[in-house]
Amino acid sequence: MKKRFWVIAGVLLIIIGIQVKNAVFIEYKVEGVSMNPTFQEGNELLINRFAHHFKTIGRFDIVLFKGPEKDIFIKRVIGLPGETLRYEDDQLYIDEKKVKEPYLDDLKSVTAGGDLTGDFTLKEVTGEEKVPENHYFVLGDNRIHSFDSRHFGFVSDQDIVGIVTERIDKK
């Protein structure tokens, strides 16, 4: 009788664990080249759907969100609420301070001396001086081939589906 109880309890715990995992995490398959070289088309990612409710989204976090026409996008957070932002000579400035983007080093090395990110100010691309409260400015890592905040504006925190926690395919 005791053995049967522990078998049933074990099975129930496994089922509950699977349900909790499925409620918290979703899998996402990368489409397109906008996040190269960080993620390639076809990479499978694990997205935490609740992380942004319990932790502040930080600069350079990679988020999954609903974009224009409710399409799903994956991009890197560059500008946080209340910040000014601009690019000049391929250099990011946040609140007029230089900010390094080390995740772009490999891609910059193959652009043959050309800029990866063209010059712009937040005002030029969004009409706003600062990132609004509860919004983010996002860019794809492959700046030349990315449809991002330069084109569709800010991303509301209400449109964020989750934060990328890891790549789960091992290709």
pLDDT of the chain, 171 residues: tens digit per residue: 788 888 888 888 888 887 777 777 888 999 999 999 899 999 999 999 877 777 789 999 999 999 888 789 999 999 999 999 999 999 999 999 999 999 888 877 776 667 888 999 999 999 999 999 999 999 999 998 999 999 999 999 999 999 999 888 875
Is the bond preceding residue 37 a cis peptide, omega within 30 degrees? yes
Whether 2 sits among the annotated catalytic residues: the reply is no
Rg (CA), the chain: 20
Q: What pLDDT, on the 0 to 100 scale, is given for residue 171? A: 59
Q: Which of 2, 55, 75, 109 is catalytic?
A: 75
Give pLDDT, residue 73: 95
Confidence at residue 112, expressed as pLDDT on a 0 to 100 scale: 65
Reported CATH class of domain 25-167 = mainly beta
The Cα–Cα gap between 109 and 46 comes to 29
Q: Which amino acid is at 61?
A: D
pLDDT of 21: 73
The pair of structure tokens assigned to 10 is: 């074990």
pTM over 0.85: yes
- Given the residues 34, 130, 146, 149, the one annotated as active site: 34
Is 75 a known active-site residue? yes
Residue 18: is it exposed, middle or buried by C-beta count within 10 angstroms (0-12/13-18/19+)? exposed
| Per-residue pLDDT, 132 | 98
